[in-house]
């Protein structure tokens, strides 16, 4: 696997690479990232990944400085997963001057759910992803359903700007006890790690109740929030939404997704399940 830290070097190396398939990451790779890369190989001739912890998408009180950086191990894992090229720029290469142009997704998509609790997050994500797309110029790119709202924002950005890129979703990879793999799981103490799968379990119960015909989703959402609170979490939202646009469903709508975000100690966990 070739590693590039400059845009010019990457572009030279990718000339004549055929159909490029791209998996952007912030590193500290786990099986979720690796599964995306393995899945990606079927969608192009040349698999390109990126590793860049994007300051733009972190709030001032968030974990940008402490976000786990494990470059050597990540390179080995990416190479083993079939990566042909890794783009790993530093901040000066990505943002040589403070980024003055941004992609601002509509408030209906960017200020709800994650956006309500992480103001500016989707603006930072959309901006860096558009920039990475412009640098890598892939024909396909993969994003995990673990970050469901992010996947929706990127799909909509690609459609509205008519970018010639197929956006391919990857299923969420979980630990045996149901906890969705995340780089932030490493922040959990042993006790918190044992408690963490509760987020998945409350979402799964809502999914089952909806499938069994329960019409009162607000009651299900409130019940899940109450259980998390009673178990020492600080829930931020548990919400049943339409998969397509994450807006509130009407009665009898199908194609739903239940999403949740909660703090366990100082660690913020998110998860979701399609219904
Ligand atoms: P990140 O490094 O957190 O920005 O994630 C890079 C990509 O991996 C994103 O498309 C994520 O949605 C995806 N991803 C993160 N965790 C998982 C997981 N547990 N299962 C599948 N994909 C994941």
> Which domain CATH number covers 60?
3.40.50.620
User: In sequence order, what are the residues at sequence separation of 6 or more whose Cβ sits closer than 8 angstroms to the Cβ of residue 175?
Assistant: 181, 197
Selecting among 4, 33, 43, 85, the annotated active-site residue is 33
Distance 212 CA to ligand 1 centre (A): 30
Q: Which of 170, 202, 234 is the last residue of a domain?
A: 170
Co-location of 73 and 201 in the same domain: no
Co-location of 91 and 198 in the same domain: no
pLDDT of 147: 98
Co-location of 237 and 139 in the same domain: no
Q: Average pLDDT of the chain? A: 97
Co-location of 33 and 70 in the same domain: yes
For residue 10, the SS3 value is helix
Q: Which of 123, 147, 170 is the last residue of a domain?
A: 170
Q: Which of 22, 23, 25 has the most ligand 1 atoms within 8 A of CB, as the residue to mutate?
A: 25
pLDDT of 82: 98
- Split at pLDDT 50, 70, 90, the class of 88 is very high
Asked if residue 69 lies in contact with residue 63, where contact means CB atoms within 8 angstroms, the answer is no
Co-location of 40 and 152 in the same domain: yes
Distance 107 CA to ligand 1 centre (A): 23
Which CATH number fits the domain that encloses residue 211?
3.30.1300.10
Alpha helices, H only, the chain: 7-14, 31-40, 71-80, 91-94, 107-110, 114-117, 121-136, 148-160, 190-195, 198-211, 217-230
Mean of pLDDT values over 237-255: 96
Q: Is residue 71 part of a domain?
A: yes
**Tens digit of pLDDT for each residue in 56-66?**
999 999 999 99
Q: Which of 113, 137, 170 is the last residue of a domain?
A: 170
Give the domain extent around 241.
Answer: 183-274
Co-location of 124 and 43 in the same domain: yes
Q: Is residue 178 part of a domain?
A: no
- Split at pLDDT 50, 70, 90, the class of 248 is very high
pLDDT of 143: 98
Please state the length of the chain.
275
Q: Which of 49, 56, 147, 187 has the most ligand 1 atoms within 8 A of CB, as the residue to mutate?
A: 147
Co-location of 166 and 187 in the same domain: no
Which residues form ligand 1's pocket by a CB distance below 6 Å? 25-26, 32-33, 35-36, 143-144, 146-147, 170, 172-173, 180-183
- Split at pLDDT 50, 70, 90, the class of 111 is very high
Q: Is residue 175 part of a domain?
A: no
- Split at pLDDT 50, 70, 90, the class of 194 is very high
Quick one: which atom of ligand 1 is closest to the CA of 173? 20
| CA-nearest residue, atom 17 of ligand 1 | 32
Co-location of 30 and 154 in the same domain: yes
Q: At which residue do the structure tokens 């049943």 appear? A: 240
Co-location of 107 and 222 in the same domain: no
Quick one: which atom of ligand 1 is closest to the CA of 28? 2
- Split at pLDDT 50, 70, 90, the class of 107 is very high
**Structurally, how many domains does the chain consist of?**
2
Q: Is residue 98 part of a domain?
A: yes
Co-location of 47 and 164 in the same domain: yes
The answer to whether 33 is a known catalytic residue is yes
- Split at pLDDT 50, 70, 90, the class of 198 is very high
CA atoms within 13 A on the CB side of 210: 26
- Split at pLDDT 50, 70, 90, the class of 124 is very high
Q: Is residue 176 part of a domain?
A: no
User: In sequence order, what are the residues at sequence separation of 6 or more whose Cβ sits closer than 8 angstroms to the Cβ of residue 255?
Assistant: 242, 243, 244
Co-location of 52 and 110 in the same domain: yes
Q: Is residue 199 part of a domain?
A: yes
Co-location of 70 and 41 in the same domain: yes
**pTM, to two decimals:** 0.97
Q: Is residue 217 part of a domain?
A: yes
- Split at pLDDT 50, 70, 90, the class of 160 is very high
Quick one: which atom of ligand 1 is closest to the CA of 182? 16
Q: Is residue 81 part of a domain?
A: yes
């Amino acid at each position: 696997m070739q590693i590039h830290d400059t845009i010019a070097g990457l572009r030279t190396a990718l000339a004549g690479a055929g159909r490029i398939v791209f998996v952007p990451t912030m590193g500290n790779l786990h099986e979720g990232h690796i599964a995306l890369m393995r899945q990606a190989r079927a969608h192009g001739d040349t698999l390109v990944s990126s590793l860049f912890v994007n300051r733009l998408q972190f709030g001032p009180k968030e974990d940008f400085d402490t976000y786990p950086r494990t470059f050597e191990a990540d390179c080995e894992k990416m190479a083993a997963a079939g990566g042909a090229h890794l783009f790993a720029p530093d901040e000066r290469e990505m943002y040589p001057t403070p980024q003055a142009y941004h992609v601002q997704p509509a408030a209906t998509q960017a200020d709800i759910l994650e956006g309500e609790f992480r103001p500016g997050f989707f603006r930072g994500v959309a901006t860096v992803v558009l920039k990475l797309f412009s640098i890598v110029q892939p024909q396909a790119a993969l994003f995990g359903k673990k970050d469901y709202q992010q996947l929706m924002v990127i799909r909509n950005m690609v459609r509205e700007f008519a970018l010639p890129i197929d956006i391919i979703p990857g299923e969420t990879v979980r630990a045996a006890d149901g906890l969705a793999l995340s780089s932030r799981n490493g922040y959990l103490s042993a006790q918190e790690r044992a408690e963490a799968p509760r987020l998945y379990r409350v979402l799964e119960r809502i999914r089952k109740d909806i499938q069994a015909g329960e019409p009162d989703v607000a009651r299900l959402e409130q019940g899940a929030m109450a259980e998390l609170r009673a178990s020492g979490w600080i829930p931020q939202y548990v919400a049943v939404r339409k998969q397509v646009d994450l807006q509130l469903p009407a009665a009898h709508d199908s194609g739903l997704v239940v999403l949740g975000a909660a703090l366990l100690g100082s660690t913020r966990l998110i998860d979701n399940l399609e219904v």
